[in-house]
Structure formats: structure tokens, C-alpha cells
Amino acid sequence: MSEPTGHTVDGTPWEEPRGPHLPDRVVGVPPMAWLFIATAIVVTIADLPTLARMGSGPWFLGQGILGLVPPICSCLLGAVLFIRHPDAVQALPLLVLGAMLSAAVPVLRLGSTLVASILEGWSPSVDMSSPAIVGTSIYALFVSFVGFLSVLCLARGLQAVRRDGRGLDKALVRMLVVISVLIGATVAVGYLRLPIETVVNAFLLIGAVVTVIASLLASSYLVAVALAGRAGGERPAQGWGLVALSGVLSILLSAIIGSARLVQTDAYQLIFTVIALVSVASAIALLAGFAMGTPMPAAPEPAPDAAATPDPPAATTPGSAGS
């Protein structure tokens, strides 16, 4: 609080009122957090035309609204990280990198339409070997790879700040790896149903399967790290649990998408709704986990009592040595 700048008629000091100013909560937000908030706003505005083209029915509108939630959460992840940890650049560099890559994913996805429009001018035909299809497929793989790196950096960053020193649950890790490989195999079977006209298409399909498996393994690593941190007493326990839940939902999402490719059904609205809801729940759980302060620093050790006095020297009896 500033020093009093005025006095009453009887000489009592008083503080003059502050002039017009922004709320302290707004001024106190770190500048880096505003960068991520601005990114979320840009992504939302850029997606509004897509939302308008979704259709007039309530189901289409609901799908469009649900589709906005995951990219917004991805952008705001860095904002909540810096709000809870203003020194994150120095203290949590891997988490900062993961948050930056997380925000980059929805921004890069906005560029897919631009890439397709540029490549469509190279060839009038649109088939599996056309520049537009091949180019956008490569671009989609690149965006997926950035998403994989984001989850990997978040998991590695949480592992780096753990203080209990315990290793990961090996049985859990093995189970998650097996599940990831099985889901990846399911996705591969679905991709094999697509026409493979050229060698380039074959490499693109292989790259897509590898990227899916890598993303599943990264999510599995995140789950194992978060559960180990929660079991090891890291704070807040609810935050670490929400991060683990986000990873589990992400794995479940890949399983649903992979299975949907193999099932012939007319209930496409139900399937797309479930996919959207699971995607939204995973994104919100991850954002909420970091918004709760994950990872919190260790509790400070109690300071020694300054009033405490050292033990007095032992008394010697007459006739003892040294008397």
C-alpha cells in the first residue's frame, strides 16, 4: 500500500483514492498468459464461419459448438499454466514447451484449408494421387506430429518435477502399451480399406498409423506419470488425477474412432456425438488439471525456532577428569 498523500482537517493522514485503472486481477495476469488467451480468441473467431456452415439443425449446431471446445482448451492451457506459475519459463520449461505446442495445433489446423486451396491450383484433377490430396495429407501428419510432441512434453515435464523419486508402475505401463498397440492395429485395419493407388499413398497410410500409435504411447506415458505423481503425494492430488483422466479419455477417443471405421452402421449421429463428447471431456480435464495448480511446488519447511537455545554443556562432577 502506498504512503498517505493527504490529511484531514484535524491533521489525520489519509490516502487519496486511486484514479481510473484496470482491475488488479487483470493487471496481475502475466503477459505470456495474455498471448495464449489472444490465440484462443483468434482460433474461435476463425472457426465461426465453419460453425455457420454446419447447418441449421440442432444436431449440427451442437456438433459445431462442441468442436470449438478442444481447440480453445488447447490454447488456454498455456494461459492457466502462467497464471498459476508466473515463473514457468525458468521453473517448468518442458511444460511451457508442451503448452506452446498445444496452442500451435489448432492454429496449424486453420492452415489446412489454405494449403488445400494452394495445391488445388497445381492440378485440375482431384484423386488420391493429386497434389491437393497428397499435400494436405502430409500437412495433416505434420499437425498430428506436433500434437504428439505436445503431449510428450507435458508428460516429460510432469515427470521432471516429481519429487517422490518413485518409478512408474511397470505393470500399468505394460498394459497401456499393449492397449495402444491394439488400438493402433485397429486403426491400421481401417486405413487398409482405403484405396492405395501409388507408393506415396502407401507411405502416407503408414505414416498415419505410426503417428496414431505414437500419440497413443504419449498419452499412455502421460497417464502413467500423472497416476504415479498422485500416488506419490504430489499436490494437488485432484489436479494430477484430472491430467490422468484426460490421457485415459484421449486413449478411449482413439479406440472409438478406430472401431467406428470398422463398423457399418446408420447410427452415425450417435457415434459422432460420442466422439465429440469424449474429445471435449478430455480437453476440459487437462485444462482443469493445470488450472488447479498442477504441479504445485513443495510445501516450505518450517523455519527453525529462533528463540530456541542450544542444550547446556554437560556438568562435571568434582574429581572427574579435567577438574
> 161-185: per-residue pLDDT in tens?
998 878 899 999 999 999 999 999 9
Asked if residue 12 belongs to a domain, the reply is no
pTM of the model: 0.82
Give the pLDDT confidence score for residue 69 in this predicted structure. 96
Residues 80 and 42: their CA atoms lie apart, in Å, by 17
DSSP string, 103-144: HHHHHHHHTHHHHHHHHHTT-S--STTSHHHHHHHHHHHHHH
Indicate left, alpha or beta for 28 from its phi (over 0: left) and psi (-120 to 50: alpha).
alpha
In a domain, 311, yes or no: no
In the chain, how many domains are there?
1
- For 78-119, write each residue's pLDDT tens digit: 999 999 999 999 999 999 999 999 999 999 999 887 887 777
Q: Is residue 14 part of a domain?
A: no
Q: Is residue 101 part of a domain?
A: yes
The pLDDT value given to residue 24: 45
Predicted confidence at residue 119, as pLDDT, reads: 76
Could you list the residue range(s) of the whole structural domain that residue 43 is in? 28-291
**323 in a structural domain:** no
* Contact between residue 139 and residue 110 where contact means Cβ atoms under 8 Å apart: no
- Cβ count near 12 (within 10 Å): 9
Q: Answer whether residue 7 shows pLDDT above 80.
A: no
Q: Is 283 part of a structural domain of the chain? A: yes
- pLDDT tens across 237-264, in order? 999 999 999 999 999 999 999 888 887 7
Q: What is the mean pLDDT of residues 156-162?
A: 95
In a domain, 163, yes or no: yes
Q: Is residue 5 part of a domain?
A: no
Separation of alpha carbons 108 and 4, rounded Å: 53
178-222 residue pLDDT tens: 999 999 999 888 887 777 777 777 888 899 999 999 999 999 999
Per-residue pLDDT at 42 exceeds 60: yes
Are 226 and 158 in contact by the 8 Å Cβ rule? The answer is: yes
Residue 274's pLDDT band, with cuts at 50, 70 and 90, is: very high
* The pLDDT of residue 129 is above 90: no
